[in-house]
Amino acid sequence: MTESQKGISLGSLKWLWLTVFVLAADLLSKNFAQEWLDYGVPVALFSGLDMTLLYNRGAAFSFLSEASGWQRWLFVVIAVVISVVLVVWLKRTETRQWWLGMGLALILGGALGNLHDRILLGYVVDFISVYYQSYFFPAFNLADSAITLGAAIMIIDMIFLEKQNEDAESSTT
């Protein structure tokens, strides 16, 4: 009897190792930034990339960062709901859909990393600062990078690879 016949399906939950890796790397890097960097003081790594410790009380690009504090709990609730949805989606993802599984796991790891900060600290620790001449991209962290990479992988999967999977399925039936 197979797992699906027993009613037990792990789907792509095997990707949770990637979620744990992203979460651990994110928390360790943020701990490093808080221990070794002074708030708001850039440390140049090379032209175009600094490490600058900043605290983001808002969401992406500091959205709602100037609000009175209520946004913290709004973003906590949103992150929890999104995390639950991602776990369910990951569980329902077929094992052969490994690009989708990888993308979901990266997004989940990043969401949990930022959720951790928001709950325990009241803000998200950002420390990576990318710039070109006088244009500075908003500071971010490894969790944000994992979320962005995961979303890009999912988009590529949906645009290019899903069609290949459908074609392969139709040729075998």
Residue 38 is among the residues annotated as catalytic for this protein: no
Q: Which amino acid, one-letter code, is at 66?
A: E
The answer to whether 157 touches 70, Cβ cutoff 8 Å, is no
Going by C-alpha positions, the residue among 116, 90, 88 that lies closest to residue 103 is: 90
Annotated catalytic residue: which of 50, 144, 157, 167? 144
Residue 157 is among the residues annotated as catalytic for this protein: no
Beta strands in the chain (DSSP E): 43-46, 49-56, 124-132, 135-136
HEC secondary structure over 105-143: HHHHHHHHHHHHHHHHHCCEEEEEEEEECCEECCCECHH
Annotated catalytic residue: which of 26, 117, 126, 157? 126
* Dist CA 154 CA 77 (whole Å): 24
Q: Which residues are known to be catalytic?
A: 126, 144
